[in-house]
Amino acid sequence: MNGAQLGARLRDGDLTVAPAVLNLVEHRGARDEVAALLREVSPGALGGEAGAHVVGVTGPPGAGKSTLLGELVRAWRAAGRSVAVLAVDPSSKRSGGALLGDRARIAFDPEDAGVFIRSTAAAGRLGGLAPATRAAAHALAAAFDVVVVETVGVGQSETEVAEVADSVAVIVQPGSGDVLQFLKAGIMEIPDVLVVTKADLGEVALRARRDLHAALRSLGATGVAVVAVSSVAPVSGIDELLAALDAHRERLDVAARRLAARRASALADFAAEHGERGLRALGGRRAALRALDDSDAGADVPALVDALEGKAGVR
Ligand SMILES: Nc1nc2c(ncn2[C@@H]2O[C@H](COP(=O)(O)OP(=O)(O)OP(=O)(O)O)[C@@H](O)[C@H]2O)c(=O)[nH]1
Ligand SMILES: [Mg+2]
């Protein structure tokens, strides 16, 4: 199946094409096919924004993201919602973090056609999320009810994942003072939902939750939910977390956030392809964003990149 056919199947709600979609977007040199795919699922083609709730899940290595996602997937499925998880795996160049062999995989039922999970290797830090991950998230959002993008890190990763997600959840484990410090110092963007894992550890988790809550309050971010969860028995907090994510999505101007995300993605793709020289040809990053402001709101990312390339004369 080519890109356009895959896109049409997604538009019809066909979840079985998800593996083929991932293979296509990860294929180097398939740029035109990926553009055709994204055109079929663009807001213009869908008659509005894709219906999925796109959720970013990010946090330091070993915080408990994968274990938590196993529980979240189970809860979303129990609520009748289909789920795709795109996990960006930095393991090839991992230094610290979860001990080797201490990493949990996302647990799911392989027989369940309503769940799709794929790990992709992380591209370099430059330019944020790999274009393949962003393209996959945009595409799958046309068919799945929930699309999760999981990234590892703290400080930069919430900004990267905000390029595609409607709601960003930052996951921390008790005693991770770095996240607290990063928040207070403004190094880290304020998340939409904060999650403290390993609540089964007791007092230390409650203290972490209180400290994070206080830090957010002092930053004036009173609307941010701080949820404590345990992903091992006795499992707790999962329903609260689902409710907090849904509440954030309900408050959100989805169209505005997606539009901003597509424009940021286009600029990132353009910069990855043409570097500083390309940006200079556009008159700098700000001028480029201004140019994108005037573009069609229903345009997909490849179309926006095309427009930038035309403007810069680098096509
Ligand atoms: N006690 C307790 N341990 C947990 C909980 N959640 C995860 N863990 C453990 O914490 C370790 C790391 O969990 P992962 O889910 O792999 O964490 P991660 O954030 O996905 O880690 P990376 O993918 O390496 O960044 C594993 O040994 C888990 O069993 C929890 O709620 N309570
Ligand atoms: Mg993990």
On whether the CB atoms of residues 170 and 191 are closer than 8 A, the answer is yes
Residue nearest to atom 29 of ligand 1 (CA): 104
Residue type, 248: H
Q: What pLDDT score does 233 carry?
A: 94
186: its two tokens: 């403004």
* Rounded (10°) angle between helices 3-11 and 31-40: 20
d(Cα 261, Cα 49) in Å, to the nearest integer? 12
Q: What pLDDT score does 314 carry?
A: 86
Residue pointed to by tokens 């999981």:
150
Mutational pocket test of ligand 1: of 57, 58, 66, 67, the residue with most ligand atoms within 8 Å of the beta carbon: 67
Residue nearest to atom 32 of ligand 1 (CA): 198
Mutational pocket test of ligand 1: of 103, 108, 179, 229, the residue with most ligand atoms within 8 Å of the beta carbon: 103
Residue nearest to atom 12 of ligand 1 (CA): 62
Tens digit of pLDDT at every position of the chain (315 positions) = 999 999 999 999 999 999 999 999 998 888 899 999 999 999 999 999 999 999 999 999 899 999 999 999 999 999 999 999 999 877 544 444 455 557 788 999 999 999 999 988 766 554 567 888 989 999 999 999 999 999 988 777 777 888 899 999 999 999 878 888 888 888 888 899 999 999 999 999 999 999 999 999 999 988 899 999 999 999 999 999 999 999 999 999 999 999 998 998 899 889 988 999 999 999 998 999 998 998 888 899 999 999 999 999 987
Closest CA to 24 of 13, 10, 44, 12: 10
Q: What pLDDT score does 222 carry?
A: 85
CA of 105 to the centre of ligand 1 (A): 9
Looking at all shown ligands, the one closest to residue 67's CA atom is 1
CA angle 224, 67, 13 (to 5 degrees): 80
Q: Which atom of ligand 1 is nearest to the CA of 62?
A: 21
CA 32 to the chain's CA centroid? 24
Q: What pLDDT score does 9 carry?
A: 98
Q: What pLDDT score does 117 carry?
A: 96
d(Cα 209, Cα 200) in Å, to the nearest integer? 13
Ligand 1 — pocket residues by CB below 6 A?
Answer: 61-67, 97-98, 102-104, 152, 197-198, 200-201, 230-232
Q: What pLDDT score does 80 carry?
A: 98
Mutational pocket test of ligand 1: of 57, 58, 66, the residue with most ligand atoms within 8 Å of the beta carbon: 66
* DSSP E strand stretches across the chain: 53-59, 83-89, 115-121, 146-152, 167-172, 193-196, 225-228
3-state secondary structure of 9: helix
The kind and range of the H/E element at 110 are none
Q: What pLDDT score does 188 carry?
A: 85
CA of 177 to the centre of ligand 1 (A): 17
CA of 98 to the centre of ligand 1 (A): 8
On whether the CB atoms of residues 250 and 289 are closer than 8 A, the answer is no
Residue nearest to atom 21 of ligand 1 (CA): 62
d(Cα 105, Cα 299) in Å, to the nearest integer? 36
Residue pointed to by tokens 């140019």:
291
CA of 64 to the centre of ligand 2 (A): 7
Q: What pLDDT score does 85 carry?
A: 97
Q: What pLDDT score does 104 carry?
A: 82
Q: Which atom of ligand 1 is nearest to the CA of 152?
A: 25
